[in-house]
Amino acid sequence: MVGIEAAGHGIESGQHAASLTGGRPGILHGNKTYLLQDEDGQITEAHSISAGLDYPGLGPEHSWLHESGRVRYVPITDDEALEAFQLCCALEGIIPALESAHALAALPQLTAEMDEDKILIVNVSGRGDKDIFTVADALGAAI
Partner 1 sequence: MTRFETAFAKGPALVCFITAGDGDTAANLDALVEGGADVIELGMPFTDPMADGPAIQEANLRSLGKGTRTADIFRMASEFRARHPQVPLVLMGYANPMTIRGPEWFAGECARAGVDGVICVDIPPEEDAELGPALREAGVSLIRLATPTTDAARLPAVLNGSSGFLYYVSVAGITGMQQAAQGSIEEAVAKLKAASDIPVAVGFGVRTPEQASQIAKVADGVVVGSALVDIVKQHGDDAPGPLRELTSALAEAVHSAR
Q: How far is CA 69 from CA 30, 64, 117, in A?
A: 24, 8, 25
Nearer to partner 1, 47 or 102 (CB): 47
- 27 touches partner 1 (CB under 8 A): yes
**Which of 40, 113, 116, 117 touches partner 1 by CB under 8 A?**
40
- 37 touches partner 1 (CB under 8 A): yes
Picking from 56, 41, 42, 43, the residue whose alpha carbon sits closest to that of residue 8 is 56
- 19 touches partner 1 (CB under 8 A): no
- 35 touches partner 1 (CB under 8 A): yes
Least distance from partner 1 to the Cβ atom of residue 42, Å: 5
Which DSSP letter does residue 52 get? G
- 28 touches partner 1 (CB under 8 A): yes
- 26 touches partner 1 (CB under 8 A): yes
CA 13, CA 56: separation in Å to the nearest integer?
Answer: 15
Q: Which of residues 112-131 bind partner 1 (CB under 8 A)?
A: none
60 Cβ contact partners less than 8 Å away, ≥ 6 residues apart: 31, 32, 33
- 138 touches partner 1 (CB under 8 A): no
Q: Which of residues 85-114 bind partner 1 (CB under 8 A)?
A: none
77 Cβ contact partners less than 8 Å away, ≥ 6 residues apart: 7, 8, 9, 10, 16
- 54 touches partner 1 (CB under 8 A): no
Interacting residues with partner 1 (CB under 8 A)? 26-30, 35, 37, 39-44
